[in-house]
Structure 1
Amino acid sequence: MGIENGNDSLVVGVGDWTDWSSCTQNGFESRSQACEYGRKIQRRGCPARQPLQSFGAAPPAPPQPYPRREPVAQSRSDQSPYDEYARRYLERLSQQREPQRHPASQQAQPCVQGICPAPQPPQYSALQESRPQEYRPPQPRPEEARYRPAPPPPPACNGDGCVARNLVHGTWYDWSEWSECSCTCGIGMKQRRRECMTNNCQGPEYETAPCDMGPCETWSEWCEWTACSGSCGRGERSRTRYCNLGTQRCEGKDYEVEACDAGPCPEWANWAEWGRCSVSCGTGRTRRQRTCLGGVQEFSCPGPSTEERVCEELPCSLWSPWQDWSSCSASCGNGMKRRVRTCQYGTDCPGPAEEAEPCYGPPCAMWTQWCEWSGCSAQCGPGHRTRTRSCLTADGMESRDCPGQSIETTLCEGTSCCRWSDWCAWSMCDRECGTGHSIRTRACVNSEGIIDPICHCEGIDREQKQCNTQPCALQCAWTQWCAWSECTTRSQCEIGIQSRSRQCVGEPGCHCLGLAEENQQCRGQIPCSTKAPC
């Protein structure tokens, strides 16, 4: 498990380390040691469960301290700069300190923590002397499996009593890039991190190295506060500064520690209301949920977020048995018969409450198709026309049993007397110059010269021609015609008058050719007969 230093790991400590604190909710514990101007803090992940071992016939060798792990091979060397910075920093510390003021410092050593020792192997009994178990590396979480490569296969195990090395010494991912220096001047610290593929790796998870940002004036600026020692709840954080007076001593402390609050720890909100039952009737299930407030992927709330229970609704609706079929609706020929049922214990029974199906009686007498309409009884004016059909039995005999009439009569109008009236006179030209238009009209009338809506004459009832095509002397023009007014009569057979107007616009003193108001004949909507005009 890696150790994370809260301050410069090369600061010389004075006295013993305190005991490790209790494990926090987010899985970390810390301890501190007195230094010359304050305290230094170490923080590490809580010890994990005993890793999976493979058991052989003989117990493994006693554990040995882990050697210092060299960084993962990269394009640059990380060891040489680290040693050089450490050497320079220790020389500077030895020049600045006064031994007579701190006799205990003569026995001090740099607080550079090594790699944690390997976990103690289990003691084996006679019952464990069996064939080695199969190596089963821990599986990454689903969200990690999407972004991490698969761990390498376990090494071969030859001979009795061997222990799968990867189970004790896991495989690390590559180191991350170095962080920025913790100080803007003087000697600060930088840090990098790596992740373990199998949760049982040898060596630290975090690595810290000094970084020299150049000399500061007297005391350097305080470095940034370290991260709070807990991921939630109460914790501690620290910051440092550096003296740049060479062999002289700066007044004050170079290390500060304060309490910090990493925010509320995750906790469950109140349960929501129970949801709707999964069924509308009978026995079903209902569900309710609650939300983890402040939780993250690694540190979520304990317990389930969903609960279910059985729910009982009213008895389900049920159809009664079908009643007997009714009698056929027809005494002969094709008919229909029906039957019904009743919805019991409710009104939401699925399916229809009534069924119908065809039924067949003896053949009935039936009407033939209607014959064609006869001609109109009047050649000109109103008349009537008829059509007939026959009632026949299945063997072709005439019958009187068919419902309805055998003769049908309708009104008609003889069209041979409808004609066009004479054309009315041409209207005045609508413009005095610049090409205007003149119109004339006629009406479709019956033999008496009356406009009759029954009459339909071939041709058009309105003609138009150009007039006054000579150019205008002044720039004058009529506006668009306004809409026609309502007809002065309401009868369809009377000729009324409706009018519209327009205005002459243009240069001062100009006069537009044509009329400013125009009238035309019109018909109303109420049927009646009057003489056609003109």
Structure 2
Amino acid sequence: KCRYLGDFISVQCAALKFEYVFPLSLSLSFSPSLSLSLSLCVLQVCGGAALDSRAEQCAAFNTQEFMGRLYDWEPFTEVGADKQCELTCRPTGYRFYVRQAERVRDGTPCFNVSTNDVCVGGQCLTEGCDGVLGSGSVIDKCGVCGGRESSCRKVTGSFQNTSVPLGYHKILDIPPGATFINITERRASPNYLAMRSGTGASVVNGRWAVDPPGEYQAGGTTFTYTRPRAQAEGQEEKGESLAAPGPTTTQLQLYVSTAAQEGIQFNLFKQTQTRALWTPERSRPRGSSRNARIPPRTDLPPDTQPPFVWRRGGLTECSASCGKGEVSHLEILCINRHTDQEVPERKCDSAAKPVPEEEPCNTHPCPPFWEASAWSECSVSCGLGVQQRQLQCRQSFGNRSTMVHPQRCASLTPPESTQACQLRLCSHWEVGSDWSTCSVDCGLGKRTRSVRCVSDHGSVVNDKECNSRLRPQGTEECNMGPCVTNWYFTNWSNTCSAQCGPGVQKREVVCLTRGGGREGEGGGDCTVEKPAEMKACNAGPCVPTTMWYSSPWTQCNVPCGNGTQRRDIICVQKMGNDFTVVPASECANLDKPPAVQECEMGECQPQWFTTEWSACSRSCGKGLQMREVRCLTPDKQHSHDCDSTTKPEQEQICNTIPCSPQVADENCRDRRHNCVMVVQARLCVYSYYKTACCASCTQSAQRTKRH
């Protein structure tokens, strides 16, 4: 079986006796024959304050609007047990609650039940003693989880003897492994139950000291010691009792002080493999017992009075000035019984050290006082309202206070029971503008208008201050009727395409819908014939005219300083859009534009000059060339003002071709400059290259043989 546990899944195989807890991020598959049971799991202890799972799930709704506004949600647990696995939340400071989800997250603790019960799948499952949720396994009387009380047997008995001497009398040995131990006086008596360990050390009421009721550790378990309280008249008084769940790990001894007049009933469960060790002791004839509690004495043989005893010291101040306070002893001292002097605590029996007891003091009643409850909710949700609270006249008696008649507080000034409140300003929606024009010229479109939240004082506030359900529409659809297509065109161009003679005028023609959409370049969607885009025009007969034509200016003839620029000037004849070059005499009557003009390129700066490269220092095998580099001014004087980053190189490598290899045969030499490439291309296998590059091919063959 597989069930979710929060962000994890618990898988238990009953047949193979294994159990795993996987995160939900894993992709799992299981055999249908396996069965799964749910168990609690803790991956690690969370740091910081404890996290309330229900509070976390309720707080997730803090950002979601409920009934038009936001609330801070907290868990609400005052529901029936059948609804404790639903997520019920209440707004902080309000009196209503809401079921936010049909079920809480799996693994969330239940309420109104034990602390280990959790909700899974909307149901509250109880953890069994085997750690499995909903298994119903409990610990039996033998201390075995899920057992059937088959590994132990019940031992019962009673002790009643009226002829035992004064003092401590052993009545039972409690064996190791005993469970569900219960020793009870049948009725109240002046006697005490006492217990010692197997080594004789006192556990409860030993060494003539009476211990207060409470829990005491002994034999690997916890014994609860109770003492009877005064009962109402006509009710039977109960006696003392000692009880422990067990199992015990060592043998313990049960005693009673003086004779047990009303008898002592005991029962326990012991393991079947362990033999019973308890035996009621035989009585010794010694007259009648005394029906009184045993005062400290030194003439009784069972126990010898120790020389060092515990004694209470001084008292603290009263915890209250009225209405019954409490005082306690500042300390418990270890005293030498013979000298009454304080000695180190290690000399006294630590098991017999009395617990500090508190005593009542200043029991007279305290003066009355007014007590105010919490303020109620504001009477209105917005604007000025009123809050109220209840006032009670109270008076302390003992360690609690109670409500008394208001007349007792008549002399006191009561607190205010009402006060003004204002949760927020009242606000409403206001339409700030008319509807806009429709977003289209035809068909369906949208139109908008301004809607804002305005306070009763007239100021614009956040939209959250108004009820969102009452907000007027800010946008709506609009229908401008069916869209129709038609031809649209511009005006004719202002000028003819030719300055003289025949030409054309143009305009742009498009097919559009009434909404502005273009319906195709060819106008196929327009039903009527497309209007003309061009028409003929005539600017009149063409008359030849002559004019000077100037070309663009050339660049300045100097890089710096003053220089000149030139351009070509020719005489042309224009007929319409055609130009013809004619003799310059035809333009003699016109002013000729200048063909030369001065230009200024700015002040000349020093620049780098170089000599020619020298001859290479080597004819092969990478040589070196050098040249002189100087910085000169425009008047050819040495200068240091040139830009060092643009300085030309003074040296360069040359003749990088490897020199011909040395071979024994003087006639075997390289006759070509590219013999290195011949070797790299493996052309030495051909007779031509082998002869032309004899030295390189021979040396390559020798290297191949060595390798």
TM-score by length of 1: 0.24
Computing the radius of gyration over CA atoms, which structure comes out larger, 1 or 2? 2
Q: Name the one with the larger strand percent.
A: 2
Q: Which has the higher contact order (CA 8 A, sep 6+)?
A: 1
TM-score by length of 2: 0.20
